[in-house]
Amino acid sequence: MDVAVFGANGRTGRLIVAELARRGHAPLAITRRPVEVAGAAAHRVLDLSDTAAVREAAGGAAISALASSRGNRACSALAEALGPCSGLRLVTVAGAAVDAPGDRKPWPERRFGPLLARLVGEMILDRQREFAILTLAEARWTMLRPPRLTNGAATGRAALSFDRPVSGRVARADLAVAAVDALFDEELVRRAPFVAEARRGGGRPAAATADKALAPRAGSR
Ligand SMILES: NC(=O)c1ccc[n+]([C@@H]2O[C@H](COP(=O)([O-])OP(=O)(O)OC[C@H]3O[C@@H](n4cnc5c(N)ncnc54)[C@H](OP(=O)(O)O)[C@@H]3O)[C@@H](O)[C@H]2O)c1
């Protein structure tokens, strides 16, 4: 299957491209400058403000591992461009700091969340904006919300949850696997699960046993 990967040159983006290739898909690596991404079946350099080109590149399936930053609203720009695409299955990698209906985050996060938002404000605000756009979108989206990302090998212990993350970290390698799993999981459409590493011997694996019955579906479509 052809899958467009936005932010394919990023640390998680590269792992997503590799995971798609490993499963026999044809990843299209979309970057903002010419780079080689291992495992990509094709490459395209795109400016996210070119809505027509972004939609054309996304085709029917896309994963975003873009990061926003000060003065760079990459994530909400992509959501704005792709939101109206009713035929599109879209998975976006965001962060646990994004708030969604049904969240029951533990008190330190509720208490320090606003402080964090002030420190890395624009980044989080843009992700929150992205979520708001997606809740009204025609595209069939899933937003993954990982806590702190770590490097290193996959643990196979990433767990999905819908009210709070099961821990404070997840490996980018596990997140990449969860992002590709999510693309093919219809039960995650219009949902924004947390993805975090379950403690050894505890928790539940991501795709198979997450308690999806508890997941609030955002938007009315
Ligand atoms: N770091 C953490 O602990 C943490 C925790 C939770 C969630 N997250 C989120 O997880 C996601 C993946 O994180 P990561 O650390 O793997 O990201 P990363 O390595 O920083 O990669 C982000 C990618 O986004 C691309 N990008 C940024 N602005 C762009 C623009 N305007 N147009 C096109 N491409 C643009 C970058 O392109 P270039 O390669 O050209 O720079 C880069 O490839 C991000 O959304 C991040 O916010 C991170």
Mean pLDDT of 109-131: 76
3-state secondary structure of 15: helix
Residue 221 covered by a domain: no
CA dist 142 → 59, 164, 187 (Å) = 16, 16, 10
Residue 35 covered by a domain: yes
Residue 157 and residue 31: Cα distance in Å, rounded? Answer: 29
Question: What is the band of 221 on the pLDDT scale with cuts at 50, 70, 90?
Answer: very low
Question: How confident is the model at residue 106, as a pLDDT?
Answer: 82
Supply the range of the domain harboring residue 54. Answer: 2-214
Question: How confident is the model at residue 62, as a pLDDT?
Answer: 98
Closest CA to 25 of 95, 80, 91, 74: 91
Distance 219 CA to ligand 1 centre (A): 26
Residue 169 covered by a domain: yes
Specify the number of domains making up the chain.
1
Mean pLDDT of 102-113: 74
* SS3 of 89-139: EEEEECCCCCCCCCCCCCHHHHHHHHHHHHHCHHHHHHHHHHHHHHHCCCC
Residue 70 covered by a domain: yes
Residue 16 covered by a domain: yes
User: Mean pLDDT of all residues in the chain?
Assistant: 90
Q: Residue 165: CB within 6 Å of ligand 1?
A: no
The type of residue at 96 is A
Residue 210 and residue 172: Cα distance in Å, rounded? Answer: 19
On whether the CB atoms of residues 58 and 1 are closer than 8 A, the answer is: no
Residue 137 covered by a domain: yes
Q: Residue 9: CB within 6 Å of ligand 1?
A: yes
- Specify the CATH number for the domain of residue 204: 3.40.50.720
Question: How confident is the model at residue 122, as a pLDDT?
Answer: 81
Residue 219 covered by a domain: no
Question: How confident is the model at residue 113, as a pLDDT?
Answer: 62
Mean pLDDT of 189-216: 67
pLDDT tens by residue, 9-36: 999 999 999 999 999 999 999 999 999 9
Q: Is the pLDDT of residue 204 over 80?
A: no
Residue 93 covered by a domain: yes
Tell me whether residue 21 is exposed, middle or buried, using C-beta atoms within 10 angstroms of its C-beta: 0 to 12, 13 to 18, 19 or more.
Answer: middle
Q: Residue 146: CB within 6 Å of ligand 1?
A: yes
Mean pLDDT of 91-106: 94
Closest CA to 78 of 133, 9, 27, 18: 133
Q: Is the pLDDT of residue 118 over 80?
A: no
Residue 13 Cα: closest atom of ligand 1: 16
pLDDT tens by residue, 58-79: 999 999 999 999 899 999 999 9
Q: Is the pLDDT of residue 87 over 90?
A: yes
